[in-house]
Amino acid sequence: MWIWTLFDLPVLTKTERRRATRFRNDLLDLGFGMVQFSVYLRHAYSKEKADVIAAKVSELVPPAGHVQILFFTDRQYQLTQSFHGRARSGPERKKPDQLTLF
């Protein structure tokens, strides 16, 4: 299960910029990676784990702005296409290796 967090936060005042930066840093602390400046992505091994992560994100949302959390299965994520300039970089994304504990 993939968790996409998309947000549009106000950054007109110094306080708003600080809150937006704090939110982005909190997402990184939760294990998200930046896809674009306002789009962050993280993998979870189950829908239940994804729900727990989404609840944590909801607690971090600043008082102003808009945050959306989208959930995609591994199969749906595998079908995404990414374009950089005019060259196409295909859907050759791999899901992370599962952690092995002994």
Q: How far apart are CA 12 and CA 33, in angstroms?
A: 25
Predicted model pTM: 0.77
Q: What pLDDT, on the 0 to 100 scale, is given for residue 86?
A: 72
Query: Token digits for 14?
Result: 């110094």
Write out the chain's pLDDT in tens, 102 residues. Answer: 999 999 999 999 999 999 999 999 999 999 999 999 999 999 999 999 999 999 999 999 999 989 999 999 989 988 888 887 875 556 666 666 666 665
